[in-house]
Amino acid sequence: MKERIQCIDPEKGVFIAAYELGLLDDSEAMLFESHLTDCPYCLEALYEGSSISRVMTDKAHQIGALLETAGAGMAPEKRDKNPAKTVTDWWRSAVSRLNKWGDMTRQPKVWAPLGALAAAAVVFAVLLSSDETARISGLAQIEPVPYTQLQTRGEGATDAAERFSRGMTYYAAGRYEEAAAELAASVAAGERDGHWKNPDQTRFYLGLSLLLENRPEEARPYLKGTAASIIRPIAERSKWYSAQIELLLGNPEMAVEYLEFLADSSIGYSKKANEQLNTLREAGW
Boundary-marking domain end, from 83, 113, 130: 130
* pTM score: 0.53
Higher pLDDT, 158 or 106: 158
- 123 and 178 share a domain? no
Q: 150: exposed, middle or buried (C-beta count within 10 Å: 0-12, 13-18, 19+)?
A: exposed
The arithmetic mean of pLDDT across residues 39-61, rounded, is: 57
Supply the range of the domain harboring residue 21: 10-130
What residues contact residue 54 under an 8 Å CB cut-off, 6+ apart? Answer: none
- For residue 144, give the nearest of 84, 219, 76 by alpha carbon: 219
Residue 96 DSSP SS3: helix
d(C-alpha 113, C-alpha 75), whole Å: 28
The arithmetic mean of pLDDT across residues 42-48, rounded, is: 62
d(C-alpha 269, C-alpha 285), whole Å: 20
- 18 and 103 share a domain? yes
- 104 and 197 share a domain? no
**Three-state helix/strand/coil letters over 167-236:** HHHHHHCCCHHHHHHHHHHHHHHHHHHCCCCCHHHHHHHHHHHHHHCCCHHHHHHHHHHHCCCCCHHHHH
Does some domain include residue 140? no
The arithmetic mean of pLDDT across residues 73-79, rounded, is: 42
- 72 and 168 share a domain? no
H helix and E strand count, the chain: 17, 0
What residues contact residue 211 under an 8 Å CB cut-off, 6+ apart? Answer: 142, 219, 223, 241, 244, 245
Banded model confidence at residue 111, pLDDT cuts 50, 70, 90: very low
The arithmetic mean of pLDDT across residues 33-50, rounded, is: 66
Q: How far is CA 72 from the centre of its chain?
A: 25
Residue 118: pLDDT over 50: no
- Give the least confident one: 50-54, 130-134, 253-257: 130-134
Q: Is residue 114 within 8 Å of 50, Cβ to Cβ? A: no
Residue 97: pLDDT over 70: no
Residue pLDDT, tens place only, 144-194: 887 755 444 445 578 888 999 999 999 988 899 999 999 999 999 988 887
Residue 108 has a pLDDT of 38
Please give the mean pLDDT across all residues of the chain: 70
The arithmetic mean of pLDDT across residues 225-238, rounded, is: 92
Boundary-marking domain end, from 130, 151, 175: 130
Banded model confidence at residue 143, pLDDT cuts 50, 70, 90: confident
Banded model confidence at residue 65, pLDDT cuts 50, 70, 90: low
Q: Is residue 72 within 8 Å of 134, Cβ to Cβ? A: no
